[in-house]
Structure 1
């Protein structure tokens, strides 16, 4: 019964989708197709990222990551977060396993929030698209404001959640 309780939200949505299909068959089938396509996309994108995260977990020493993304890393933390976010490809949900690994290895919340912001705002495919579609001026303004905002948000998170944020990872409590 406890196993079913974990998936209750999924079952509620599935029942809702079935009811929608009975009420409006064409809309229900479109919803089923969209859900199936989304699940397939996630199944093709997520495993490589999880393998990458697993390899990073084993290959990158905690001390090395703290040196480059820890609380006292300074400009290295900004540059490293910027580099990781800019070279990213794919939707934002792929960044969260990487962010958890960074936190687990001792990265500062400031740089993890900044990394997630760079992933959404300034990753290379987005920059190229904005440059071609909207021009240089818009792209530079958007990226500069976004990067400043996410860095300041990271500082805010670091101050606000200091010593109060806990991660559950491999059945260990890790204070950040």
Structure 2
């Protein structure tokens, strides 16, 4: 019982606060419960749509598309695309978190995820329209310009402080021939880059992918690199169409397009 309480300490803490509030002020406790019910109902309506959207992103949008548009090397283009995605979004900010987590796993940079979240929260188009109506277009445009500059700057700074390796990843699925590198355990020894330079390279003392799916001779070399990796940081989907990787594995997407 104590173990369950520890695992769900936040939920039990909220229940405890409600119980205390009922004893101190029943009226406020009932108001809090009504507000909680309202937000839970809202979440039950919105979250299924959000999960459907994340599934569509996971299934239908190729990783290289997200890498090129929102990846580490996307530059200002990635910032403006992120700004547009956040601005045209609908729904409360908590709906953005699973979407951003999916984009992050598919290759988006931390900086661009910060831009999406921030613009989703404070410069959505419907919000700007209401702001112009009630506070004047000049007020809206001035705030939008300075807020946009601040969001992009904040994304850049946070991207330098928080790395993808700092973010926990759930179990991932590899399709046949797909490669993944667990950067949490990679020691940057360089064996993979030596055995399969077409697939791997070392950057910032970590192995990164040049391609994310292997065929033919490249596949044979990548498998040799996987077998020789001293810390078993490389995984390749094979034998069956899909292979489940257990643990906190980060899918390291290709940083360079192979011509």
1:164 Cα deviation after fit: 4.9
Larger relative helix fraction:
1
Inter-partner Cα distance in structure 2 for 1:44 and 1:80: 28
Structure 1 spans left out of the alignment, 5+ residues: none
Structure 2 spans left out of the alignment, 5+ residues: 172-246, 253-259
1:45 Cα deviation after fit: 1.2
- Which runs of structure 1 show a deviation greater than 3 angstroms over 4 or more consecutive aligned residues? 1-4
Give the paired residue count: 176
Instruction: Name 1:56's counterpart in structure 2.
Output: 57
Instruction: Name 1:172's counterpart in structure 2.
Output: 248
Higher Rg: 2
C-alpha deviations, 1:127-168, integer Å up to 9, x for none?
111010111111111111111111111111121224652322
Inter-partner Cα distance in structure 2 for 1:18 and 1:166: 35
1:42 equivalenced with 2:43 (yes/no): yes
Inter-partner Cα distance in structure 1 for 2:41 and 2:96: 18
Counterparts of residues 97-176 of structure 1 (less than 5 Å): 97-162=98-163, 164-170=165-171, 171-174=247-250
Instruction: Name 2:227's counterpart in structure 1.
Output: none
Given that 1:117 and 1:146 are in contact with CA atoms closer than 8 Å, whether structure 2 keeps it comes out as no
Given that 2:110 and 2:164 are in contact with CA atoms closer than 8 Å, whether structure 1 keeps it comes out as no
Instruction: Name 2:93's counterpart in structure 1.
Output: 92
Inter-partner Cα distance in structure 2 for 1:50 and 1:86: 20
Inter-partner Cα distance in structure 2 for 1:134 and 1:47: 35
Inter-partner Cα distance in structure 1 for 2:50 and 2:164: 29
Inter-partner Cα distance in structure 2 for 1:6 and 1:43: 23
Given that 1:109 and 1:158 are in contact with CA atoms closer than 8 Å, whether structure 2 keeps it comes out as yes
C-alpha deviations, 1:59-115, integer Å up to 9, x for none?
111111001111112343123212211111111111111111111111111111111
TM-score, reference length from structure 1: 0.91
Q: Helix, strand or coil: the match of 2:6?
A: helix
User: Closer, same or farther in 2 for the Cα pair 1:166/1:31, shift >3 Å?
Assistant: closer
